[in-house]
Amino acid sequence: MNIDNLKSQMRKGMLEFCVLLLLRKDDAYASEMIARLKDAHLIVMEGTLYPLLTRLKNDGLLSYRWEESLQGPPRKYYSITPTGIEFLGQLQNSWDDIARSVNHLLNPATPDITASHLPNPTPPPVPDTIPPAPDITLDSPSPLDPKDLKDPKDFKDPKDFKDPTPSSPK
């Protein structure tokens, strides 16, 4: 098996996501996108990028406009559409799921947190009835006399409040 072919296939699978990520902040023309992808160590050829941009535009995820250039012919600037932003969010969720799964396999000691990323985790079931409280019996009478109990808020200064519970020897 050729690792370079596998890496190329993996890059192609992520290219749509990466192009939308690039365009979420700034509009760009194709040559600029290729340079930015190369800066991110994603080697992309024009023959791969242009058909992808056309497909994304036809799917309503991108739009474009022509701008005059001081250095040659007019440039086609691509921008992400509201539909593209929504789709980018879905791709981000998919990427998070894939990354979590791969990281779990890379680091098996990491706890499984799959339920925490679900959009609406199922709450624990609530019992139909609450069981009755158990009977409590005291083996000895309470050391407190109810007439000795006073509410701390009846005192102006909390230091004046004396706790009537017997203190345990130290």
Contact, 20 vs 87, CB < 8 A?
Answer: yes
pTM here is 0.61
Per-residue pLDDT of the chain (170 residues; tens, 9 = 90+): 889 888 888 888 899 999 999 999 999 999 999 999 999 988 888 899 999 999 999 999 999 999 999 988 999 999 999 999 999 999 999 999 999 999 999 998 766 555 555 555 454 554 455 455 445 444 444 444 545 545 555 545 555 545 555 555 54
Contact, 62 vs 81, CB < 8 A?
Answer: yes
Question: Which pLDDT belongs to residue 66?
Answer: 97
Q: How far is CA 149 from the centre of its chain?
A: 52
Question: Which pLDDT belongs to residue 126?
Answer: 46
Question: Which pLDDT belongs to residue 34?
Answer: 95
